[in-house]
Every structure is written in structure tokens, then in C-alpha cells.
């Protein structure tokens, strides 16, 4: 299992600081969930780990700086599922998932039997075998999401980054996708960092939440520690009640100011 | 070769509407070749390398560079039509300069004109020897990149996250495809639309993976040209209808059809 350390990481687009001074350590096998309003810097943080955004400070994987790595080596360590992945409509699911094997194939090489067997194995584990020769353009939203996750799993990287993995899915598929990630995490000992908008789901699946606001890390801790009515009101500007269920689940329920009826 | 280049351009620009002809490569190469015709043809025997493919290459590369810069500057990378429009503008400019040069050198007009329209009959085995090295280099490079062309399809960001050096791949592929296009253009003239019809036909028949498209485009492109050459030779027997006319005749409607279906799916 692999740890991920951030020390004073900053991301800047032009003159705008998207993320400032972010310091945190994600323990091996931990699921950290980044929350915060739009523009808080969640995506920027994930993109800096994936090597898509230039960053200041240092990001370390198991103690060694990530910036020293070649893009291939980095891709062997970090798999990234973007918020809105590009799925070439006419590519088959199997062709798409094998792209995740790129970090292990030399520049001019081609896939070995080993690569294809990993792909077929991943497709099987994610219940996608029936779709493997279907064009991804013909799949439903939930199936597409599973194909994208399959590609990331085929990458066999110990760190999995998910940017809003469930935003396009209905409630059932949201749960399915997150259960899948959690199951894969247990089986492979993955370290997961995700950005999520649904606070209840974020608290339900992750080990730890980290709230970002305008590029700064505000607070981090368990769902019960972070998801508090005052905190949500201050940083999201939302009127919401926080309900603690008997099983420890923290539920965030929005309400309308005039009709709270308490 | 034109089809192969066309398929590769479509891959790196992630745009199904581009082909060597529309990107201005062919016109740029044509301009380069015309300059050689008018200025240097007599002295070419003293050169170690025949300047014709070389100048066509420089012209072609320049044209695709301008097209790309102009196309992305105004439209962003996602816009399919701006890239095509930029290609049209570059083509028009290159053609205008070419016409101007030709007007100043009326003695070679006939020679250049028949060359522009493209013909296979006047191609000789000497010409084949002339372009073969370029074609081999270019095809080899493109063949080696066909797996990476598949990766490019998921977009720059994700390809980078998958560990691909996106910009390097794009530059290498563009240079290789331009080299191939220019060499062929230098010998056979501007044969339009082969670069767009053939890769799409291959896609319809054999699927969308560049692993398949790249080699099949090369084969089908060659077959298509031979077939297109038949009406070219038969229609106006004993004189020859330039093959560029035949392919454009088939290609133009095909292109419009493609444009239409693409808008339909949006």
C-alpha cells in the first residue's frame, strides 16, 4: 500500500490561485474525500497529482517526490478518472480499457498477452464482459462510468484519483459505482482520493473528509467532525440540517429558510 | 500514402474532417514544388537530393503549421470547423501565390498545370525511386505510432494522465504525415480527398481502432487510386482525365455527407 503526501502544494492558473499551501498526508489504503463548493480547488489538487496542472510545493508518493518521475512512471503510480472523461463513441469497451495499460508498454511497443489478460480480467470483475465488444458510445451512463473505472483499474496503480465520479449518475448507480471503488480498494489496497459534491455519500464512503474553500484547506476529519451545520452554512452558504443516524451515518438535509417549520 | 497521412492527421487533431488536402498541406507542398519547377528545375541534376520532394515537404509543413496555429488560435482545439476553415484559407493563399508565380513563368504553366491535377500515367519508376525513401520513413513512423494514436483519442488531459507524451506524439506524427504527403504530392500532383474517403471507409468496414485503420488505409488508399484511375483513362480515351478530377468528383459529395452526419449526431 502506498501513501501520498502533500507539502505546501499550490496550483495557479495565470494570476489566479486555484489552490494554496495544501499540506496533508493520505495514509496507505485510506480513502480521502475532498469536499467544498465549486471552485474550491478540489479538481486542481487532483490534477496536480495526475501531472496535468503545474504545481508548487511537493507531492510525494511513499516519500519520493512525484515531480521527478517521468510521465509513464507517474501513470504507473497514479490512475486518474476525470470529471467528464472523453469516450470515443466508436471505440469498443475492450479497446478503451486497454488504453490503461499504456504506462507499461514501451513507446513503440504493443500490448502483450499479459496486458490483454489483465483487461479481460478487469472487465469480468466489473461485470462488463458482455459489453467488451460494444462501442462505448452505445453504453448507458452507468455502464460508461464503469468502463472508465475499469480503465483506471487496468492501470494497476496503487493510487486512484476520482474527480466527481458519480455526478452524472442516478442514486442507484452512484451507490453501485462507489461500492465498486470501495471493494476494489479493499482487494487491491488502493489509496483513494476523490472529489465529491454529495456530502452524505462522501461521508458514507470515505475514511476522512477534507473541506476546501477558495483554494485553502479549512478542516479535515471524520464525517461527524467536518459535516456540521455551522461549517456548511459558512463555507457553502447553504441552509442544511445535519442528521446523525443511529448507525453513525451523517446525513445532510437541505431545507428552505421560510418553511423549516421546526 | 495520402490515406495513411489522412488517418494520422485525423488522429492527432482528433477531428474526422481533416485530410492532407483540406489542411493545406497538399497546397503548400504544391506551392513548394511549383517554385522548384519554375526556378530550379534546370539545375536540379547537380543536387544530391532532388529538391522537388524536399521543397514540397517544407511547403507542406509550413502550411500545416499555419493551419494549426490559425485554427486553434480562433477556435480552440475542440472546434472541427475552424480547423477546416483555416485549412481552406491556407490553401487559397498557397494557391494564389502559386498562380502568381505561374503567371510570371508562363513557359512552365502547362507542365505545372497537368501536374497539379494529378496524374499517374506520367509517373515513372524513376519517380517511385525518388519518393520511396520518404514514403518508407513516413509510413514506418506512422505505423509505430498507431497504438499511441488510439490513446490520443481520449483527449490531451487523459492521454497525459495515462503517461503519453501528447505533444511529442503530435509533432512527430504531423511531421511524418507531412513528409509522406509532400513526397507523394511532388510526384503525382494534388490528388484530393483520398485522405478523407479512404480512412472513413476503413472505419466503417473495420472499426475505429487506429491499429487497424493505419495499415488498412495504406492498402485501401492504393487500391482506391488504381480503381479511380480506370475511369480516368477510359472516359476520354485516348487522352487521360486527370485522376485528381476523378477523386474530387467522388470525394466532394462524400465530404458533404460526412459533414452532415457529424452535425446530425451532435
Measure the CA–CA gap between B203 and A114, rounded to whole angstroms. 27
Closest by alpha carbon to B36, among B48, B47, B46, B51? B51
Contact between A86 and B158 using a beta-carbon 8 Å cutoff: yes
Measured between CA atoms, the residue of chain B closest to residue A161 is B161
Q: Which three cell numbers stand for residue B56?
A: 514540397
Closest by alpha carbon to B28, among B7, B58, B68, B72? B58
3-state secondary structure (DSSP) of residue A132: coil
Q: What is the DSSP letter of A92?
A: B
3-state secondary structure (DSSP) of residue A191: strand
Q: What's the rounded mean pLDDT across residues B32-55?
A: 60
Q: Is A115 on the interface with B (CB under 8 A)?
A: no
Q: Is B105 on the interface with A (CB under 8 A)?
A: no
Q: Out of A9-13, A137-141, A158-162, which region has the weakest mean confidence (pLDDT)? A: A137-141
Q: Is A251 on the interface with B (CB under 8 A)?
A: no
Give this prediction's pTM.
0.74
Q: Is A107 on the interface with B (CB under 8 A)?
A: yes
Q: What is the pLDDT of residues A41-56, one digit of tens each?
A: 889 999 899 888 888 8
Residues of B in contact with A97 (CB under 8 A): none
Q: Phi and psi of A7, rounded to 5°? A: -125, 115
User: Which CATH number characterizes residue B62's domain?
Assistant: 1.10.3470.10
- Structural domain containing residue A72: 4-259
Alpha-helix runs per DSSP H in chain A: 42-50, 71-77, 93-98, 113-125, 141-154, 171-188, 199-205, 223-226, 229-236
Domain count, chain A: 1
Is B81 within 8 Å of B3 (Cβ atoms)?
no
Measure the CA–CA gap between B156 and A85, rounded to whole angstroms. 11
Looking up cell 482545439 gives B77
Is B181 within 8 Å of B5 (Cβ atoms)?
yes
Residue A144 confidence (pLDDT) above 50: yes
The residues, any chain, with a CB within 8 Å of residue A200's CB and separated by 6 or more, are A249, A250, A251, A252
Q: Which three cell numbers stand for residue A257?
A: 429558510
Measure the CA–CA gap between A19 and A41, rounded to whole angstroms. 5
Measure the CA–CA gap between A137 and A160, rounded to whole angstroms. 24
Is B249 within 8 Å of B4 (Cβ atoms)?
no
The 3-state DSSP composition of chain B as helix, strand, coil percent (nearest 5) reads 80, 0, 20
Domain count, chain B: 1
Q: What is the DSSP letter of A41?
A: S
Measure the CA–CA gap between A204 and A227, rounded to whole angstroms. 11
Q: Phi and psi of B80, rounded to 5°? A: -75, -40
Residues of B in contact with A108 (CB under 8 A): 144-145
Q: What's the rounded mean pLDDT across residues B209-236?
A: 68
Q: What is the DSSP letter of B39?
A: I
Residue A159 confidence (pLDDT) above 50: yes
User: Which CATH number characterizes residue A34's domain?
Assistant: 3.40.50.300
Average confidence score pLDDT of chain A: 85
Question: How far is Cα of residue A11 from the mean position of the Cα atoms in its chain?
Answer: 18
Residue A209: predicted pLDDT? 92
Residues of A in contact with B151 (CB under 8 A): 99, 102
Proportion of chain A above pLDDT 90, given as a percent: 13
- Structural domain containing residue B57: 2-265
Q: What is the DSSP letter of B239?
A: S
Query: What ipTM did this prediction achieve?
Result: 0.71
Residue B265 confidence (pLDDT) above 60: no
Amino acid at each position: 500500500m502506498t501513501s501520498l503526501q502533500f507539502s505546501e502544494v499550490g496550483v495557479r492558473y495565470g494570476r489566479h490561485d486555484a489552490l494554496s499551501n495544501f499540506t496533508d498526508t493520505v495514509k496507505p489504503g485510506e480513502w480521502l474525500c475532498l469536499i467544498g463548493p465549486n471552485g474550491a480547488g478540489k479538481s486542481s489538487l487532483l490534477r496536480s497529482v495526475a501531472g496535468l496542472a503545474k504545481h508548487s510545493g511537493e507531492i510525494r508518493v511513499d516519500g519520493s517526490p512525484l515531480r521527478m518521475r517521468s510521465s509513464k512512471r507517474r501513470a504507473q503510480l497514479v490512475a486518474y478518472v476525470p470529471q467528464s472523461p472523453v469516450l470515443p463513441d466508436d471505440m469498443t469497451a475492450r479497446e478503451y480499457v486497454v488504453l490503461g495499460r499504456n504506462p507499461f508498454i514501451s513507446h513503440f511497443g504493443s500490448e502483450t498477452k499479459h496486458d490483454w489478460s489483465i483487461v479481460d480480467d478487469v472487465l469480468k470483475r466489473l461485470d462488463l464482459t458482455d459489453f467488451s465488444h460494444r462501442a462505448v458510445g452505445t453504453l448507458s451512463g452507468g455502464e460508461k462510468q464503469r468502463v472508465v473505472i475499469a480503465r483506471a483499474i487496468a492501470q494497476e496503480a496503487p493510487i486512484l484519483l476520482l474527480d466527481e465520479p458519480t455526478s452524472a449518475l442516478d442514486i442507484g448507480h452512484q451507490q453501485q459505482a462507489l461500492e465498486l471503488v470501495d471493494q476494489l480498494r479493499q482487494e487491491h489496497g488502493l489509496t483513494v482520493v476523490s472529489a465529491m459534491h454529495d456530502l452524505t455519500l462522501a461521508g458514507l464512503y470515505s475514511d476522512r473528509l477534507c473541506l476546501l474553500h477558495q483554494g485553502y484547506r479549512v478542516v479535515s476529519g471524520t464525517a461527524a467532525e467536518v459535516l456540521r451545520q455551522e461549517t456548511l452554512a459558512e463555507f457553502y452558504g447553504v441552509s442544511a440540517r445535519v442528521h446523525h443516524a443511529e448507525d453513525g451515518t451523517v446525513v445532510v438535509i437541505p431545507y428552505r429558510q421560510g418553511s423549516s417549520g421546526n | 500514402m495520402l490515406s495513411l497521412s489522412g488517418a494520422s492527421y485525423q488522429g492527432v487533431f482528433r477531428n474526422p474532417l481533416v485530410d492532407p488536402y483540406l489542411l493545406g498541406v497538399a497546397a503548400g507542398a504544391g506551392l513548394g514544388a511549383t517554385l522548384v519547377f519554375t526556378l530550379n528545375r534546370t539545375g536540379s541534376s547537380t543536387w544530391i537530393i532532388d529538391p522537388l520532394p524536399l521543397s514540397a515537404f517544407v511547403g507542406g509543413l509550413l502550411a500545416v503549421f499555419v493551419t494549426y496555429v490559425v485554427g486553434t488560435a480562433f477556435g480552440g482545439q475542440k472546434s472541427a470547423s475552424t480547423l477546416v476553415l483555416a485549412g481552406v484559407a491556407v490553401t487559397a493563399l498557397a494557391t494564389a501565390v502559386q498562380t502568381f508565380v505561374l503567371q510570371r513563368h508562363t513557359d512552365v504553366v502547362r507542365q505545372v498545370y497537368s501536374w497539379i491535377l494529378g496524374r499517374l500515367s506520367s509517373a515513372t519508376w524513376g519517380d517511385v525511386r525518388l519518393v520511396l525513401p520518404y514514403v518508407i520513413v513516413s509510413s514506418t513512423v506512422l505505423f509505430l505510432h498507431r497504438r499511441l494514436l488510439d490513446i490520443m483519442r481520449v483527449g490531451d488531459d487523459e492521454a497525459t494522465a495515462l503517461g503519453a507524451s501528447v505533444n511529442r506524439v503530435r509533432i512527430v506524427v504531423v511531421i511524418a504525415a507531412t513528409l509522406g504527403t509532400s513526397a507523394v504530392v511532388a510526384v503525382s500532383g494534388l490528388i484530393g480527398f483520398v485522405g478523407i474517403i479512404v480512412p472513413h471507409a476503413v472505419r466503417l468496414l473495420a472499426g475505429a481502432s487506429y491499429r487497424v485503420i493505419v495499415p488498412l488505409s495504406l492498402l485501401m488508399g492504393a487500391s482506391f487510386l488504381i480503381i479511380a484511375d480506370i475511369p480516368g483513362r477510359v472516359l476520354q480515351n485516348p487522352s487521360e482525365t486527370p485522376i485528381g478530377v476523378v477523386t474530387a468528383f467522388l470525394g466532394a459529395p462524400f465530404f458533404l455527407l460526412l459533414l452532415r452526419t457529424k452535425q446530425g449526431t451532435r
